Amino acid sequence: MIENRQFSRPIDAYKAMIDQLVTETSHGVHEKLVVDEGVWLKTPHEEAANAFVRSLSNEQRRMLARLLHDERTSAIHDALAVLTWWILSRGVGLTFRGEPMPTELSGEGLNGDYIGRLADWEWPN
């Protein structure tokens, strides 16, 4: 979790928000369970999915986890792309303590900032 610190500037809050998406929401419970425990979920009503995951080799489970991860980050990207469209086309905005927050520091939308940070892109000064 992003440390509980106080931000004084909207740009710092924006960067923390994107970084939190990268660090906290880009990895799902399913990808971890598939690789680490060989199950989909630890619930009885998911036995069919668990049986499928158990039938996979370790290499296949790692591949499935990678696919799940890619799908998850794609979904976050797509949601941020829609939000960027609303910001750029419909006058929607993000604020921090009543001040407008800068967005799309990469020049490629909130989704571009997210993907950049996933790839260890450094924030501009």
Residue ranges per structural domain of the chain: 10-118
- Report DSSP letters for 18-50, one per residue: HHHIIIIISS-HHHHHHHHTS-S-SSGGGHHHH
- Mean pLDDT in the chain? 94
Whole-number pLDDT of residue 115: 97
At residue 125, the pLDDT reads 78
- Give pLDDT, residue 1: 53
In whole angstroms, what is the distance from residue 11 CA to residue 33 CA? 36
Q: Which helix (H) or strand (E) holds 95?
A: strand 95-96
Check residue 9 and report its DSSP letter: S
SS3 label, residue 99? strand
Here the tokens at position 89 are: 């086309």
CB 39 within 8 A of CB 33: yes
Q: At what angle do helices 58-90 and 29-36 cross, to 10 degrees?
A: 170
The amino acid sitting at 26 is S
pTM: 0.88
Binned at pLDDT 50, 70 and 90, residue 91 comes out as very high
pLDDT tens figures, 35-54 = 999 999 999 899 999 999 99
Model confidence over 52-78: pLDDT tens digits? 999 999 999 999 999 999 999 999 999
4 has pLDDT over 80: no
Q: How far apart are CA 11 and CA 14, in angstroms?
A: 5
At 78, the amino acid letter reads D
